[in-house]
Amino acid sequence: MENNFKMIAKCLYEFEDELAKELRQLGAMDIQKGVRHVSFVGDLGFMYKANLSLRTAISILKPLFSFKIYNEDDFYKKINAFAWENLIDKNGTFAVESTVNSEIFTHSRYVVFRTKDAIVDRFRDKFEFRPSIDTERPDVQVSVHIDRENCEISLNTSGDPLFKRGYKTATNIAPINEVLAAGLLLKSGWAGQCDFLDPMCGSGTLLIEAAMIACNIPPNINRDHFAFQKWEDFDENLFEIIKDSTLKKVKSFSFNILGYDKAPSAVEKSIQNIENANLSDFIEVRRQDFFESHKTSERHLHMVFNPPYGVRLDVDVPKFYSKIGDTLKQNYPGSSAWFIVADLEAIKHVGLRPSRKIKLYNAKLESRLLNYQIYEGSKKASKQ
């Protein structure tokens, strides 16, 4: 127990429940949900496992210290007083990131600059030498979180955000974030229990995340780097043991995962990304217009997709969403269809009553995750 420490997993708005569930399943201790984050306790090996295995986490932070702030000078002095030389080599590199909700500081970039100044000044005063700034791949990445007068300083154990899985080299105009895609799938109840279809698959993100969930593949197994790998206490043997143990839990999948897109370029990009993720054996992609398609099996079908909103991709929203509703109703009986929409007026044009409507954000766009249960025949007959 003495080797355990507190960590914080950051997540997107409204995905705290999914992240907390993931942490419980991984074996985390003292799980506490917050706003856009979940705190937990584990050891060094669990820190490695959390970075490799969490689907809905954006980053994993290791808190260092916290304090109250009353003005800018107070903030600078408290950062400057910390023994950064125990964490950052004077010949090494570091970077600073920040999130700010405060009347004292109104710009997160200013907090970044003041934090850098405080750290650099300490090194200059003690050693007459300073570490360098490296925003690409620093030895140490410092995270500053300010909420009103409360300030928490942490180390970012992940480095690049965890939605950078390492498999996506080809993207379309409006690609969906990998962490958001995994969260949508988990909210929809997807666990690999039936056939799956993304009828507007774009660059294949939902297909890849669906396959990794179905096969219990750690989502970040394809990443080539985590921030903790540059730390002095990085235990490479332990990290390899953790990687091997997560891969031993991979399971087979006996259903079909299928993606459609009417654009040849999208089909090509999704196939490339699927190959990068080593999932070509589990996913099939076809050039197909969803509005001219039909359900290909009598088995139950789980659908999750990200249709155009009319923001980055130009569509006639009323006509487009009316066609989604008609296609689902006429051509996809025995299906559970989930999709995310940012144009809230579009919901009225689907022509079906959603059984679930969940408020989310896609980037900064307020959105809804909708679920439509498409029954065989009438709903009443299906229940009977």
Judge if 198 and 128 occupy the same domain: no
Residue 190 CA to residue 182 CA, distance in Å, equals 10
Computed on alpha carbons and rounded to an integer, the radius of gyration of the chain in Å comes to 23
pLDDT band at 310 (very low <50, low <70, confident <90, very high): low
Give residue 380's pLDDT. Answer: 43
Tens-digit pLDDT profile for residues 141-181: 999 999 999 999 999 999 999 999 999 987 766 679 999 99
Query: Is 234 within a domain?
Result: no
Query: Is 237 within a domain?
Result: no
User: What is the total count of domains within the chain?
Assistant: 2
CATH of the domain at 12: 3.30.2130.30
CATH of the domain at 306: 3.40.50.150
Judge if 184 and 284 occupy the same domain: yes
* DSSP strands (E only) in the chain: 5-10, 29-33, 37-42, 59-68, 93-101, 132-133, 140-147, 150-156, 195-198, 257-261, 283-287, 301-305, 335-341, 356-362, 365-374
Judge if 11 and 129 occupy the same domain: yes
- Identify whether the C-beta of residue 81 lies closer than 8 Å to the C-beta of residue 69: no
pLDDT band at 382 (very low <50, low <70, confident <90, very high): very low
Query: Is 11 within a domain?
Result: yes
Judge if 62 and 131 occupy the same domain: yes
Q: Which residue has the tokens 């950051």?
A: 10
Judge if 147 and 270 occupy the same domain: no
Q: State mean pLDDT over 52-59.
A: 98
Judge if 64 and 14 occupy the same domain: yes
Give residue 129's pLDDT. Answer: 87
Judge if 111 and 188 occupy the same domain: no
Higher confidence at residue 136 or residue 287?
287
Give residue 302's pLDDT. Answer: 98
Q: State mean pLDDT over 304-311.
A: 82
User: What is the DSSP pairing of strand 365-374 with strand 132-133?
Assistant: unpaired
Give residue 96's pLDDT. Answer: 97
**DSSP states of 143-158:** EEEEETTEEEEEEESS
Judge if 186 and 87 occupy the same domain: no
pLDDT band at 355 (very low <50, low <70, confident <90, very high): very high
247-258 core/surface letters (b: 16 or more CB in 10 A; e: else):
eeeeeebebbbb
Query: Is 293 within a domain?
Result: yes
User: Which residues face 303 on adjacent strands?
Assistant: 197, 337
Q: What is the mean pLDDT of the chain?
A: 93
For residue 171, what are the CA distances in angstroms to 155, 168, 203, 244, 273? 30, 7, 5, 30, 9
Judge if 291 and 329 occupy the same domain: yes
SS3 of the chain: helix, strand, coil, percent, to 5: 35, 25, 40
Residue 274 CA to residue 209 CA, distance in Å, equals 10
Domain assignment of residue 12, given as a range:
5-156
Judge if 125 and 188 occupy the same domain: no
pLDDT at residue 381 is higher than 70: no
Give residue 186's pLDDT. Answer: 98
For residue 261, what are the CA distances in angstroms to 180, 313, 371? 20, 14, 21
What predicted TM-score, i.e. pTM, was given to this entire model?
A: 0.93
Judge if 116 and 263 occupy the same domain: no
Query: Is 121 within a domain?
Result: yes
Tens-digit pLDDT profile for residues 251-295: 999 999 999 999 999 999 999 999 999 999 999 999 999 999 999
Nearest CA among 61, 49, 46, 60 for reference residue 221: 49
Would you tell me how many other CB atoms lie within 10 Å of the CB of residue 31? 16
Query: Is 228 within a domain?
Result: no
Last residue of a domain, which of 156, 190, 212? 156
Query: Is 243 within a domain?
Result: no
Last residue of a domain, which of 156, 187, 212? 156
Judge if 139 and 256 occupy the same domain: no
Query: Is 343 within a domain?
Result: yes
Q: Which residue has the tokens 């030498």?
A: 129
Task: Calculate what percentage of the chain has a pLDDT beyond 70.
Answer: 95
Contacts of 232 (CB under 8 A, 6+ apart): none
Tens-digit pLDDT profile for residues 214-251: 999 999 999 999 999 999 899 999 999 999 999 999 99
